[in-house]
């Protein structure tokens, strides 16, 4: 359990930091002044430090400078909190030795993500290198993410998984990581006996292919999926370590893994985002979603993700026009990879009947948009070499991309 020391003269901020980080199982201690913080630093020996800039007596900058002069704490990860958003202050914070900088007021999930990133980078520096997963690039991992719920993340993940399977006929796994309220099995109209909660009580060494056979369920087009627990009590029993071990065991069996992520930057979310080949970041044309998306992109940048792997998906879940696409691009400074048309009653019907559009209505404009996009983010090797037995899905994509070349490309397969 990582130890975090927060130093801030504002009781409300200390209380918020403490409550936020303890929910992620961090051991948190707070101090109300620089002097009190230095004493706590010696006694508590934290793994990371959160320091407020503006404090009476000894401000945050002076405190950081004093800490950095002590060789014992020269590499301690430090995050500066401030109500000021000026560039000069941010540059000065890095100059004196801070590792990160976060403006007040902050979103709890962003604080969690920043702290987790600081600790991970510190561990990498101490150990010399990050652990290497030899199977990491075996499947093409696609993470569906958004800090704002209710705008279609699960709909996108489910239909993307179905589209990938329909396109290539390749082993495809859809993973529901929304432990507290996941609905993948509901969207697929599948009653399941086993979910992630099945792993409770098993030691990591006991999690093998035989055990996981009961965890993985079949969908009608050949796609497979893992369901979230049925209730919050079961969800609390699922550990990040167990999930990570299960996915390590399963990875070599799949060409594509599509993951529906929770709306946060928790440990499980970061585990998947770190490994993802493509991140589908969902945004809706309304201000709350834009704000959450901007915060998410900024956090990706702070986590040092390659932003080229972040594909912005604009979904229109309501009939009203909302914010224009060009205005969204200007606000986020990130290109929109695909825009999903308003599906209206068809989308609601698909959810209520457990019949995703990609399966029940492949010709629907939303299905076609997801299908074409699935092709664009598929493995390059799949795009470069047409399948021996082209699926109807593959044929539709080729027709929409270049109708005149379809017959010539298919003909070359059988020459």
Residue with tokens 């026009």: 321
What's the CATH code of the domain at 98? 3.40.50.2300
User: Do 84 and 218 share a structural domain?
Assistant: no
User: Do 285 and 188 share a structural domain?
Assistant: yes
Total tally of structural domains belonging to the chain: 2
User: Do 112 and 147 share a structural domain?
Assistant: no
* 89 is a domain residue: yes
User: Do 144 and 243 share a structural domain?
Assistant: yes
* 144 is a domain residue: yes
* 114 is a domain residue: yes
pLDDT reported for residue 24: 83
Residues recorded for the chain: 415
* 264 is a domain residue: yes
Cα–Cα distance measured from residue 40 to residue 5, given in angstroms and rounded to the nearest whole number: 8
Omega before residue 402 within 30° of 0, cis: no
pLDDT reported for residue 19: 94
Where in the sequence is the domain holding 273, given as residue range(s)?
140-384
Structure tokens at 333: 């400074």
User: Do 218 and 83 share a structural domain?
Assistant: no
User: Do 379 and 290 share a structural domain?
Assistant: yes
User: Do 278 and 179 share a structural domain?
Assistant: yes
User: Do 105 and 186 share a structural domain?
Assistant: no
The angle formed by the CA atoms of residues 145, 5 and 269, to the nearest 5 degrees, is 15
DSSP 355: -
How far is CA 199 from each of CA 42, 120, 176, 225, 272, rounded to the nearest angstrom? 40, 26, 15, 15, 18
* 134 is a domain residue: no
* 348 is a domain residue: yes
User: Do 191 and 97 share a structural domain?
Assistant: no
User: Do 148 and 103 share a structural domain?
Assistant: no
* 72 is a domain residue: yes
Contacting residues for 43 by C-beta, under 8 A, at least 6 apart: none
SS3 at position 259: strand
Last residue of a domain, one of 127, 161, 185: 127
Omega before residue 83 within 30° of 0, cis: no
* 390 is a domain residue: no
User: Do 323 and 175 share a structural domain?
Assistant: yes
The DSSP string of 141-182 is: EEEEE-SS-SSSHHHHHHHHHHHHHHHH---EEEEE--TTT-
Last residue of a domain, one of 127, 148, 176: 127
- List the pLDDT tens digit at each of the 415 positions of the chain: 789 999 999 999 999 999 999 988 899 999 999 999 999 999 999 999 999 999 988 899 999 988 987 778 888 999 999 887 667 777 888 888 899 989 888 999 899 988 988 888 777 655 554 443 333 346 999 999 999 999 999 999 999 999 999 999 999 999 999 999 999 999 999 999 999 999 998 999 999 999 999 999 999 999 999 999 999 899 999 999 999 999 999 999 999 999 999 999 999 999 999 999 999 999 999 999 999 999 999 999 999 999 999 999 999 877 677 899 999 999 999 999 999 998 888 888 999 999 999 999 999 999 999 999 999 999 988 887 777 678 999 999 999 887 554 444 444 443 3
User: Do 263 and 198 share a structural domain?
Assistant: yes
Last residue of a domain, one of 76, 105, 127: 127
Q: Where are the beta strands (DSSP E) in 38-195?
A: 48-52, 78-82, 100-103, 140-145, 172-176
What's the CATH code of the domain at 328? 3.40.50.300
């Amino acid at each position: 359990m990582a130890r975090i020391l927060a130093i801030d003269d504002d009781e409300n901020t200390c209380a918020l930091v403490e409550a936020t980080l303890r929910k992620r199982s961090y051991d948190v201690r707070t101090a109300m002044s620089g002097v009190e913080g230095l004493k706590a630093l010696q006694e508590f020996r934290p793994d990371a430090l959160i320091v407020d800039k503006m404090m009476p007596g000894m401000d945050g900058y002076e405190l950081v400078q004093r800490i950095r002069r002590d060789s014992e704490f020269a590499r301690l990860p430090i995050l500066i909190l401030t109500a000021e958003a000026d560039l000069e202050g941010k540059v000065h914070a890095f100059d004196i030795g801070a590792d990160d900088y976060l403006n007040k007021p902050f979103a709890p999930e962003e604080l969690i993500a920043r702290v987790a990133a600081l600790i991970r980078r510190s561990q990498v520096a101490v150990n010399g290198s990050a652990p290497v997963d030899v199977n990491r690039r075996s499947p093409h991992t696609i993470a569906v993410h958004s800090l704002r719920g209710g705008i279609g993340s699960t709909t996108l993940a489910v239909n993307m998984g179905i589209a990938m399977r329909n396109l290539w006929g390749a082993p495809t796994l859809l993973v529901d990581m929304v432990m507290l309220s996941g609905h993948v099995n509901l969207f697929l109209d599948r009653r399941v006996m086993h979910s992630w909660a099945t792993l409770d009580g098993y030691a990591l060494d006991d999690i093998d292919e035989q055990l996981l056979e009961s965890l993985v369920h079949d969908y009608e087009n050949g796609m497979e999926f893992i369901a979230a627990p049925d209730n919050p009590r079961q969800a609390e029993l699922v550990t990040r370590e167990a999930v990570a071990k299960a996915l390590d065991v399963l990875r070599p069996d799949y060409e594509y893994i599509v993951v529906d992520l929770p709306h946060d930057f928790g440990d499980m979310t970061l585990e998947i985002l770190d490994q993802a080949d493509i991140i589908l970041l969902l945004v809706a044309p309304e201000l709350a979603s834009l704000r959450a998306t901007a915060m998410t992109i900024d956090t990706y940048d702070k986590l040092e993700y390659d932003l080229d792997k972040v594909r912005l998906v604009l979904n229109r879940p309501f009939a009203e026009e909302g914010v224009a696409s060009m205005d969204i691009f200007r606000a986020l400074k990130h290109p929109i990879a695909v825009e999903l048309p308003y599906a209206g009653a068809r989308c609601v019907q698909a959810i209520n009947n457990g019949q995703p559009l990609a399966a029940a209505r492949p010709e629907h404009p939303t299905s076609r948009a997801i299908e074409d996009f699935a092709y664009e983010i598929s493995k390059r090797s799949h795009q470069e070499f047409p399948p021996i037995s082209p699926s109807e899905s593959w044929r539709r994509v080729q027709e929409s991309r270049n109708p005149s070349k379809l017959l010539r490309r298919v003909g070359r397969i059988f020459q």
